[in-house]
Amino acid sequence: DDAARAAALADLPLRDVLRGVEPYGAPQLDVPVLLNVNENPVPPSATVAREMGEAVAAAAVGLNRYPDREFLDLRADLADFLALESGVRLPPEQLWAANGSNEVMLQVLQAFGGEGRTAVSFAPTYSMYPEYARDTGTRWVAGRRRDDFTLDAAAAVALVEREQPSVVLLASPNNPTGTALPREVVEAVCDAAPGVVVVDEAYAEFRREGVPSALELLDRYPRLAVSRTMSKAFSLAGARVGYLAGSRAVVDALRVVRLPYHLSGVTQAVARVALRHSAELLRGVDTLRRERDDLVTWLRGLGLEVADSDANFVLFGRLADRHAAWQALLDRGVLIRETGPDGWLRVSVGTPVETAAFRDALVAVLATPA
Ligand code: PMP
């Protein structure tokens, strides 16, 4: 039972910082409408899925061998995608990939963080960042965003100058707020930072018209790196592929800390099929962006406060009792996320049917006195 398990765990020589800590993760519940982890609601098409199956079959006959450790074919495909998506052309050697961008960023902390070093970010932001720091023995310092979730460049620079972090993590668009950073803010942090600056662009493909990608700054800042993922825009969360664009030197540093053959041959094959279909996937992203904008407008129409979103999710508030609202939505079969500042909830953009179910449930919940 639970008490016996807890006692057995307490008996192990667990690191002090891990004592009593729960594994990170949103509830995985079996309900009709899942809008809680910012997945893409549209699965790979039948054509893409079939091609993936064929690619996996072809890879399977070679699985007695370790996979290509440098995966330069995949890195070339990722470079082509970034050129298509952001107009920034990089050589494959400036790309890196791992099992989700979480692993990529953990590798960044393994390479540049550690004992006696500091990592900085600005809250509210992605809750895994302090875990990368914890797991690598890196000191963690979180500054604050403004009340509207934007980042004050002068305040960010002041914190960076004071803390002298070896790693700065900037999520843009930010999770859970959806806020993208203007170019000047990223430049100001890069100018002030003594170490590596990672702009986490997990949701970049969903940014609104005219919002820049930090990829455009790579040629000016050799210590800047841009982290991306195939989990969101590519509908590939289950395959676990994240990647990073940076200078060759930054990529070389990650090659030192990666485990040998960390990216399986099956993963590489599946990712390359998805990348072959980039153009089609980006059209799907366009639809989701429009639905996101409609959802923001609709929530504001209800009189709620809604953060501007450049991502595939929307943060809204303020609810006197957000937990009660979250539970009431769940009771109606709609799972969203209780995260961010108190009083706010985050909902992912689903299919039109899922979003309609969320709207109906929310209207019912708001009409019911607590
Ligand atoms: N960065 C941000 C801001 C995220 O929200 C997420 C996933 N929720 C990730 C990184 C990690 O995603 P993955 O490991 O699937 O690439």
Give the tens place of pLDDT for each residue, 37-95.
999 999 999 999 999 999 999 999 999 999 999 999 999 999 999 999 999 999 999 99
Which residue in this structure is represented by tokens 């999770």?
175
Question: Is any ligand 1 atom within 6 A of the Cβ of residue 242?
Answer: yes
What band does 370 get if pLDDT is binned at 50, 70 and 90? low
**Looking at the structure, do residues 189 and 264 belong to the same domain, yes or no?**
yes
The CATH number of residue 104's host domain is 3.40.640.10
Verify whether ligand 1 is closer than 6 Å to residue 172 (CB atom). no
Instruction: Determine contact, residues 254/107, Cβ cutoff 8 Å.
Output: yes
| Whether residues 103 and 247 fall in one domain | yes
**Of the residues 240, 255, 276, the one at which a domain ends:** 276
Q: Torsions phi, psi of 227, nearest 5?
A: -100, 135
307 and 259 in a common domain: no
Average pLDDT over residues 141-149: 98
Determine the Cα–Cα distance for residues 238 and 293; give it in Å rounded to an integer. 26
For the entire predicted model, the pTM comes to 0.97
Pocket test of ligand 1: the residue of 103, 207, 231, 236 to mutate, having most ligand atoms within 8 Å of its CB, is: 231
Burial of 127 (0-12, 13-18, 19+ CB in 10 A): middle
In a domain, 9, yes or no: no
Probe target for ligand 1 pocket from 149, 229, 243, 349, with the most ligand atoms within 8 Å of CB: 229
Calculate how far, in angstroms, residue 175's C-alpha sits from the geometric centre of ligand 1.
9
Examine residue 187 and state whether it is found in any structural domain, yes or no: yes
The per-residue pLDDT for range 272-283, each reduced to its tens digit, is: 999 999 999 999
Residue 29's CATH number:
3.90.1150.10
Please state, as a whole number, how many other Cβ atoms lie within 10 Å of the Cβ of residue 284.
18
Based on the domain organization, do 217 and 304 belong to the same domain? no
237 lines ligand 1 (CB under 6 A): yes
- CA-proximal residue: ligand 1, atom 1 (nearest): 202
Domain boundary among 225, 249, 276: 276
Domain with 292, as residue range(s), is: 24-40+280-367
Q: How far is the CA of 231 from the centre of ligand 1 (A)?
A: 8
Together in a domain, 271 and 291: no
Tell which of 243, 276, 309 closes a domain: 276
Count of domains observed in the chain: 2
* Ligand 1 neighbour 313 (Cβ under 6 A): no
Q: Are residues 135 and 229 in the same domain?
A: yes
DSSP at 339: -
